Structure 1
């Protein structure tokens, strides 16, 4: 029994050890594929109306990655993006430039790290420059993201997305208490007043306004005020104002560090003194030189420039940089005085830089430079013509281990872009992922090396894709029928319409013959009746003629009337006969 218990304990310990080993292996395997995107700093406190920078980083210490994308959301009621900076980024190729929308409160980015990819824990992607708009807590977080491994399969190894929380506070006006006030020197006198400035709010900042304005409150019982402005930090003001004033705008001052001193008086005497420090710099930086660094390889897409800026006043604060028509970005010197461009496309470029001092004064300069393209991609084999059921294959060569972007455009449609890589000798084979529909296609290619240097597009090639024989026969048949069927329909419609018109006309003629015959009968009856009446009246006239002799004119009139009546009857009979003849 004791032996059995020992065996059970031995099995339990062995099983437990095995379970621990398996768990460790699983965790190691999982952690080997874990990657994260995060922002830095993760917390901070900033004043309302101020600015701060937030850098976006990727961490993948155990596996090389080659593609990163993400969407960052921020509260647009508290923050707004002023600019994006790609300076110092590990991204070598941007399929689409990073962008932002202050209306929707989002920042988008998508970049590629060329072979061999990136491995590390603090790869900088870009820097977001914010300006605070409202007091409160501003939570900045990722709404989506992906990190693809450089394993040839595009495996998404993203494990976590970071976030940042920023506190925005109302700025404190006036100087710090340690240099602001002196204690009252006599019991019962007033304490040092709190000074506010509408032009120089922060005593540690520089301003390019040389007529500063100040204000302070006058407590009850104030009978006078003493003021003084000068370069000494601790002095007693000597310029009296009776009655007391509560604000003062100074005359034009020279650039430099100044102090404004205020002291109040009541019935007990002069009270404490406030010494308000303010700084003025109205002059632009003294000089600014952009010196391009020597580059032996003119195809290098990344260029370096030495920035030599001097400012004898407040000092250089930052640089505003624009390349060609790109968005203006803010760049702060890390002490090296060397600015490095992102990877640029081949061609002539203009670098415009503005050196800005602590007070906002600035001086600008520019530098033109040229980036030469890599040699064009050579396409050695492709089908000039193929049917829609054939596989589309293209072969060619470029730089070894370089990225290719092959564009395939069907007629006026948007080109479809395919990404592939050349082998160690520079050769490539492109096979379309689906069979092409019939039509005329254009194909061209660009090369991108590990530095991000690009070639110009190769000459556009024309490919004709025809339908299969069966489909071609069907198409021809459809084309013929599409013409023949409407033609037959038109002829049939014409025949039916002609028959209907003939039938309708015949029916009208029959009806008219009946109507004319009826009219003829009625007319004959009326004529007979008219003749009877004429004979009747003629006999009456003749009888009256025997009694009283008519004049010759009356006899001629009666004779003419009888002839007219008979002539009208004859013409009516003739017209009716003609109508009946036409209707036969």
Structure 2
């Protein structure tokens, strides 16, 4: 890790974990969770972190206790996973609390990461609750995210038997520290230690047997698989079966796989508690005795490793800024106890790449990387699932981008000639092409993709003949050289795809929709023009008929007037037949006038 990142880690500790986006996972706890002591005895408590598989790099907490029952003798950082301390875990004489802010230069993970060891002297009678407050644990995510989800204190009972306590001066009331600016996980009102299942004392009369007892069947709930390494530590309780004929049991715990226990237990029970075990390879040995003799010895392996692998550095061939799309990384980690199992490599937020430790030579070429900044994290994991990591900020430089000299700007849907695109790029490289449909949402939908090879003169050309629907499209182009290195993406101008025309008037082209609209317009125009012409014609005709009707009426009036004058002038000399004919003439003229007027009226309707 570079010096700037180390400084950033210290600043993150001081600012205290403003982020809250990561999933809460880690826990801080005190062990052993409970215990019984006599006055004058030494009480040793470990402060540990269970990272729950997350990678962390810093933590803080305040541990308090009742000064009337416990007196702090020593605070030890030996074996701590933290290498630097923003606030040293030091307590003044007579104090009843210790605070710390510590961190690691690398991201680490484990189920029982050792932080501090507190050594007390039991000076009073009663219950001593060790409480945790103002606690936080930061993820190694570059943001200082607080991932603490739980805290767990401890409860110790001190009895009256043992060495009398020394007379101590009166302790002043506890002074509450100033509130922290950082939201901390509140401690429980009272520690609630969970007791592990305990063996049961056997009280019964043994049944005589004819043969030796069988080899005991051992069961360790805390470590159920003896073939595995474990990274958690609590009270270890071993159970075994108890046949009716058994009258005694012998057990032993050591680092030898073949020990034969010699001393029988004081009480016959279904198991035994061995307390919390230190790191290392342990073996539990048990045999049972009946009236015939001792059974074969049962051995149970318990492997514990709570320490992460040793810190390591990752380097990059050619530097962390390179145009090599698959740079070679170098690293080598080690683990002194359980041994390395694998490496996990992650680039940005991509999938984890698992690299077995067996056969790893110390070099690894990354998969092809796109241009831009990438965060590469390498995590070394041991057989107990403890881990340490290092990260590199990699910058992949782009090669020169291609140029687009021509692209079909407009074509008809289902047209066979398709989209043609031409341009220039570095000779002997390839240009990756993607046809995308521009959506109204502003996003682009991939329709087709392909590539064009650049000739020795630096020219390239490609045609997409797949049918396209109406809409707006664009073509993206990106250069790729023989190593797989990529350029930045360039976009072509927008391409319009529309329906083929069904009608063309001069230079104007009309598709199906435009032609239909024009036909509708012409129909409506013709209908409107006809109606207007008809109305206009009717108006003129009505005017002419009106004039004709007036003229006919006028003429008939003149004829009738002349007929009356003729009748008066001829009254003395005309015969009876003449008078009758004259009257008939007048009547027929009136009928003709009425008929002509009605005919003229019909014309105007």
Q: Which TM-score band (shorter chain)? A: 0.3 to 0.5
Indicate the structure with greater helix content.
Answer: 1
TM-score using structure 2 length: 0.46
